[in-house]
Amino acid sequence: MRSENGVTFVVPSYGSDEILRSNFLASPCLHTGCEHQILIQRNYSSAATANNEAIDRAENDLLIFTHQDMIFPEPWLVQLELAVTHLKRTDPSWGVLGCSGVTPDGTGVGWVYAPNQGLLGKSFDHPQPIQTLDEIVLIFRKSSGLRFDDSLPHFHLYGTDICLRAAQRGMRSYVIPAFCVHNASYYPVLPKEFYETYKYIRRAWKHSLPIYTSCQAITKSEIPFYRRRLHEFIIRYIRRNASLQPRVRSLTKLLDEATRASITS
């Protein structure tokens, strides 16, 4: 049954369930008495197919697609509600919302804490328009009719694709001031699957170039692509400092660190 005020969380999950249990499912905002549905999408070959299948099963209109290593503090759903209320007045046909994104001139916008990188962005008052959103959090309405590209491979750049799909239909996308934590393991070299997806996006959206994402600019020129690959080659084979930085295991410690960082921003 659809709830007027409820939300549906969609979480593509792979690997150990421990990451899911100790991060997303431990999020304080999930234990505040709010109405929500949680769809854990396991064993899919791509985020796009996992998310589209979840759209069909969602009981609520407001859909939140997120990573299994995201943590949402207690005020997060209230901050989301305030952002949506603001957009009802200023842009009722909004497309996609998120917590981290990039503007058409390549400027990053967001308010996220990542333990291996620190505070990314800073607090702001109202939703900010962007070109693309990072996949850590993507929010849109089931009633909008938006869907992910089933042909998009792997688990990268589907935030870029859905924002471009919204823009194609005349809907603007925004970063919202809803503070959250991304407890990701950090590795400075992108996997080969990312570059396969990059090439797919570059072909599929060739008429929309340049496209700025949180990981890599996608342009008509291949210069940014080869510059990034050269940088990764130097890290891995010359400097030999491409070490994996693991997730923080203590949720309490991580949330304390994140809260202190967000207050000083």
Confidence class of residue 188 from pLDDT cuts 50, 70 and 90? confident
Please determine, for residue 189, whether its predicted confidence score (pLDDT) is greater than 50. Answer: yes
Confidence class of residue 265 from pLDDT cuts 50, 70 and 90? low
What pLDDT is stored for residue 14 in this prediction? Answer: 83
CA 5 to chain centre: 22
Q: What is the pLDDT of residues 4-36, one digit of tens each?
A: 679 999 999 987 799 999 999 999 999 877 779
Please determine, for residue 225, whether its predicted confidence score (pLDDT) is greater than 80. Answer: yes
Please determine, for residue 45, whether its predicted confidence score (pLDDT) is greater than 90. Answer: yes
Please determine, for residue 1, whether its predicted confidence score (pLDDT) is greater than 50. Answer: no
Strand partners, 141: 62
Residue 66 burial by Cβ neighbours in a 10 Å radius (0-12, 13-18, 19+): buried
Amino acid letter, 21: R
- The number of helix segments (H) and strand segments (E) in the chain equals 7, 15
Please determine, for residue 88, whether its predicted confidence score (pLDDT) is greater than 80. Answer: yes
What pLDDT is stored for residue 4 in this prediction? Answer: 60
Q: Which domains does the chain have, with CATH numbers?
A: 7-263 (3.90.550.10)
Kindly write down the DSSP assignment for every residue of 39-62, as one continuous string: EEEES-SBHHHHHHHHHHH-SSSE
Q: What is the mean pLDDT of the chain?
A: 94
Q: What is the pLDDT of residues 69-78, one digit of tens each?
A: 999 999 999 9
- Most confident range (mean pLDDT) of 29-33, 182-186, 199-203 is 199-203
Please determine, for residue 57, whether its predicted confidence score (pLDDT) is greater than 70. Answer: yes
Contacts 24+ apart (CB under 8 A), 248-256: 248/115, 248/183, 249/22, 251/22, 251/23, 251/26, 251/71, 254/71, 254/115, 254/181, 254/183, 255/28, 255/71, 255/73, 255/181
Residue with tokens 């020129």: 221
- Do 177 and 122 touch, CB atoms closer than 8 A? no
Please determine, for residue 2, whether its predicted confidence score (pLDDT) is greater than 50. Answer: no
Q: How many CB atoms lie within 10 A of CB 157?
A: 28
Residue 131 burial by Cβ neighbours in a 10 Å radius (0-12, 13-18, 19+): buried
Confidence class of residue 145 from pLDDT cuts 50, 70 and 90? very high
What pLDDT is stored for residue 59 in this prediction? Answer: 97
What pLDDT is stored for residue 35 in this prediction? Answer: 77
Q: What is the pLDDT of residues 95-142, one digit of tens each?
A: 999 999 999 999 999 999 999 899 999 999 999 999 999 999 999 999
Confidence class of residue 240 from pLDDT cuts 50, 70 and 90? confident
